[in-house]
Amino acid sequence: MTRRPMPRLRCLLIAALLALASMQAALAQGGGGVPVTTDPVRVGPVPVEVIANGIVASESVVTIRTRVDGQIERVHVTEGQLVRRGQPLFTLDARLNQAILAQQEAQLASNRAQQSRTQADAQRYQSLRGESFASQQRFEQAQADALAAAANAKATEALIQQTKLSIEFATITAEMDGRLGALPLRVGNFVRQAENTAITTLTQMDPILVQFAIPERWLPEVRAAMYRAPPTVRVRPEGDTETPVEGTLVFVDSAVDTTTGTILLKARFSNGEFRLWPGQYVQVRMAPRVQEDAVTVAGPAVQTGQTGRFVFVLAPDNTARKRTVELVRLAGDRAVVTGELQAGEKVIVDGAQRVTEGTRAVERNAPQRVSSVQ
């Protein structure tokens, strides 16, 4: 059997690539240099951001149930509709309670007539007792009859108020501004108070909360920020490309979760455009404080080697110089670092993988000099 020529071809290909790389390096050293793009080192205030995942939660969810028995006579709303506080949602058949109310009002008229007669008798017997024409026992009986008639009238008045409440409860209204859920019951269904059946739910949408958990090491920062002023919280729903929604931190839990080592926070947001939806997952960024005089470079400029992280700085003589740095954190597309860097120095961003210590480089983003024509 003949040996396969693949290993030999692979060695030749690697040698050719190494030779090509050596030629490019030599051309770069002797010619204009490796083309690179740079970005200046910046020194200034940078927010200290806490990044977490959160869940949108409504401040209030009301389960709507009936407070009286009756058949659903009319549905005034549709599923998912936005409603205002006091807006009618359902109307139940209240004819039975209306008939009871008429009966009780007639009974109240009778009670009041009885009350008037007994009061007149009590006054009459009081005058007769003073003239010795009536006994003390008869006078006391007349007073008792008057008090009993007054009590009967008040009892009937209380029954009337109760019946009026039942008639009022037959019209089910929204307890707050919010969005309705599904409507499982329609016109014709009979509902009972004892069954405790949910007719629908009403969810508050504006304002709305986002709850999220952060590691407990951030707790001192958050507590210090709450004493100064509630920190701003920015959230962005998954897949949303618009500007993040801004809110304010309003709640820090009273205890750290010992199982996860995190603490629960809540932030409140204005949600007039309904960009946030209950149960939705969002990306959360909170800045409890601002670090002054932070040194930042473009994030892609930071590289990792055997001895740690480093960047290449383009020196004034157009040569790449290696600088060791320590990555503190990422702030958007920039990296907060510590090291021997000065504000305004040019850090190589694109092309840093093609240079080494002392390699000549030329900026692709440098302004072109235009010679004037005499």
Indicate if the pLDDT at residue 5 is higher than 70.
no
Least confident of 32-36, 68-72, 367-371: 367-371
In terms of residue numbers, what domain contains 72?
A: 60-92+171-203
* pLDDT on residue 307: 85
Q: Is residue 18 part of a domain?
A: no
Q: How far is CA 48 from CA 41, 102, 177, 290, 298, in A?
A: 18, 70, 37, 5, 17
Domain stop point among 121, 153, 169: 169
Q: What is the pLDDT of residues 165-194, one digit of tens each?
A: 999 999 999 999 999 999 998 899 999 988
Q: Give me 147's structure tokens.
A: 């008090």
Q: Are 310 and 322 in contact (CB under 8 A)?
A: yes
CA dist., res. 370 & res. 374, Å (int): 13
> How big is the chain by its Cα radius of gyration, in Å?
41
Looking at the structure, tell me whether residues 164 and 273 fall in a common domain: no
CA torsion 181-185-191-195 (nearest 10°) is -60
Looking at the structure, tell me whether residues 131 and 87 fall in a common domain: no
Looking at the structure, tell me whether residues 227 and 323 fall in a common domain: no
* pLDDT on residue 16: 61
Domain stop point among 289, 319, 345: 289
Indicate if the pLDDT at residue 15 is higher than 80.
no
Q: Is residue 356 part of a domain?
A: yes
Residues linked to residue 232 through DSSP beta bridges, in sequence order: 248
Looking at the structure, tell me whether residues 247 and 275 fall in a common domain: yes
Looking at the structure, tell me whether residues 88 and 211 fall in a common domain: no
Indicate if the pLDDT at residue 33 is higher than 50.
yes
Q: Is residue 7 part of a domain?
A: no
Q: What is the pLDDT of residues 106-165, one digit of tens each?
A: 999 998 898 888 888 777 766 766 555 556 666 677 778 888 888 999 999 999 999 999
Q: Is residue 214 part of a domain?
A: yes
* pLDDT on residue 330: 83
Average pLDDT, the chain: 85
Q: How far is CA 55 from CA 95, 209, 244, in A?
A: 46, 8, 15
Least confident of 10-24, 135-149, 284-298, 331-345: 10-24
**What is the rounded average pLDDT of the residues 206-214?**
95
* pLDDT on residue 88: 95
Q: Is residue 221 part of a domain?
A: yes
Q: Is residue 55 part of a domain?
A: no
Least confident of 43-52, 133-142, 169-178, 244-253: 133-142
Indicate if the pLDDT at residue 288 is higher than 60.
yes
- Distance spanning both ends of the chain, measured CA to CA: 77
* pLDDT on residue 28: 47
User: Which CATH number fits the domain that encloses residue 139?
Assistant: 1.10.287
Looking at the structure, tell me whether residues 68 and 192 fall in a common domain: yes
Looking at the structure, tell me whether residues 313 and 357 fall in a common domain: yes
Looking at the structure, tell me whether residues 239 and 259 fall in a common domain: yes
Indicate if the pLDDT at residue 304 is higher than 70.
yes
CA dist., res. 321 & res. 135, Å (int): 124
User: Which CATH number fits the domain that encloses residue 311?
Assistant: 2.40.420.20
Which of 272, 268, 270, 265 is closest to 251 using CA atoms? Answer: 265
pLDDT top residue among 95 and 365? 95
* pLDDT on residue 286: 92
Q: Is residue 11 part of a domain?
A: no
Looking at the structure, tell me whether residues 107 and 241 fall in a common domain: no
Q: How far is CA 115 from CA 119, 129, 146, 169, in A?
A: 6, 21, 6, 32
* pLDDT on residue 47: 85
Looking at the structure, tell me whether residues 258 and 277 fall in a common domain: yes
* pLDDT on residue 333: 86
Q: Give me 287's structure tokens.
A: 């800045």
pLDDT top residue among 2 and 213? 213
Q: How many domains does the chain have?
A: 4
User: Which CATH number fits the domain that encloses residue 188?
Assistant: 2.40.50.100
Indicate if the pLDDT at residue 329 is higher than 50.
yes
**Cα atoms found within 13 Å of the Cα of residue 242, Cβ hemisphere only:** 6
Domain stop point among 256, 289, 322: 289
CA torsion 327-329-333-339 (nearest 10°) is -30
- Identify the band that residue 25 occupies on the pLDDT scale cut at 50, 70 and 90: low
* pLDDT on residue 368: 46
Least confident of 125-129, 213-217, 267-271, 274-278: 125-129
Looking at the structure, tell me whether residues 64 and 197 fall in a common domain: yes
Q: Are 153 and 176 in contact (CB under 8 A)?
A: no
CA dist., res. 87 & res. 76, Å (int): 9
- Identify the band that residue 90 occupies on the pLDDT scale cut at 50, 70 and 90: very high
Looking at the structure, tell me whether residues 232 and 263 fall in a common domain: yes
Q: Is residue 222 part of a domain?
A: yes
